[in-house]
Amino acid sequence: MSAVEKIKKAKISLLLSHPFYSALLFRVECIEDNNCETCVTDGKTLRYNARFFENLSHDELVGVLSHETLHLANCHHTRRGKRDKSNWNRAADYAINGLLLKDKFTLPAGALYDAKYDGRSAEEIYAMLGSDNENESDGKEDPGGCGSIDDPAANEEELQGLELDMQQAVIQALMIAQAQDKCPDYIKRIIEETLKAKIDWRDALSLYLSELSKNDFSWTKPNNRYLHTGLYLPALHKEEPGTVILIIDTSASIDDEMVSQFAAEVQEILSVFKISLTIIYVDEDVRSIQFLDPEEPLQLLPLGGKGTDFVPGFVYIHENGLEPSAVVYLTDGCCSSFPSPPDYPVIWAKYGHYRFAPPFGDVIEVK
């Protein structure tokens, strides 16, 4: 079987079993380049030695492609700086191979793995390699023998742009994997650590809301894109996405400009997922209610201006028999009055400088 045919088969396997890797892999162009030792990616292309790919088993090729993809997810191609290239590749391999092996991927014989590096970043491992004579740079393009990374031909400003683009791609890939309930916990941890200081709150909110749009693959409706090739693959279908309730804190400490900006952003996000929106305005009591379809223009009708109490909005939901897919609560966090934890997800969109540690739900810091 040719390398091209083996790549297609490996991509289909990843599409069905590991959609996170598949979504990122489909962003890079696979190019045959027999001048490279094994394969190498710079975030835009994945160049491969055809003989190397042809000699791999199917499972090994799936593992190698996932190996390269996990390099990209960690932005290893933009983080090297002035470090030695061969040792950086070695450190990056140690950082990810343990995760792949624990997730039951198969890597070629000789792939770098050492339990002492588990849970460490490529930067930490690189520093450790510097004091280990056995791991001094040997100048090899691919010291681990299962795919390497190359620096994009870019200056510092361009590198930052490429890294931002990759982070956005990673978020989208995570959304796809979560929607299919096929996202390993280690992927979520990697993304959280990589994007912790950089992710925009809009992207964070999108990740939560994407899980409410219950996408899944159905074998009863084949994917027409692949029928002409003789492949019978499942098609993506949508179920009813439900309703999101946005509770807006309209106490005196929240200004109108903040409310308008946040609600507009939430409405834009919801329109993408076709989720209807109910808005409840609350200070120390429920002041007004709005019901909006996804395509309906947003015109806010906020009322309030007194103290803050987190209980009334949740009481209103219960007493009126509402069954939200999730509640997003915009607040500055200046309150300690909470209800009992509800049986639906709650996302606290926290604005301002107050320290906020609610007894339930997830907190997104709104800048």
Q: What does the block give as tokens for 35?
A: 């001048």
Distance CA 297, CA 365 (A): 26
Q: What does the block give as tokens for 165?
A: 């683009």
CB count in 10 Å sphere of residue 211: 17
Amino acid symbol at 170: V
| Burial class of residue 294, CB neighbours in 10 A (0-12, 13-18, 19+) | middle
- Per the DSSP assignment, residues forming a β-bridge with 366 are 351
Distance CA 108, CA 63 (A): 8
**DSSP symbol at 130:** T
Residues near 362 by beta carbon (within 8 Å), at least 6 away in sequence: 208, 345, 346, 347, 348
Pair 188, 250: CB distance under 8 Å? no
Pair 330, 249: CB distance under 8 Å? yes
Pair 350, 364: CB distance under 8 Å? yes
Residue-level pLDDT at 179 = 80
Residues in the chain where the model's pLDDT stays below 50: 133-134, 196-199, 214-221, 225-227, 229-240
Distance CA 30, CA 65 (A): 10
Share of the chain above pLDDT 70, in %: 74
Distance CA 235, CA 332 (A): 43
Q: pLDDT, tens digit, for every residue of 318-365? A: 999 988 888 888 888 888 889 999 988 888 888 777 778 889 888 877
Q: pLDDT, tens digit, for every residue of 114-127? A: 999 998 888 889 98
- Provide Rg for the chain, Cα atoms: 24
| pTM: predicted TM-score of the whole model, two decimal places | 0.58
Residue-level pLDDT at 367 = 64
Torsions phi, psi for 350 (to 5 deg): -95, 125
Domains of the chain: 3-199 (no CATH), 243-366 (3.40.50.410)
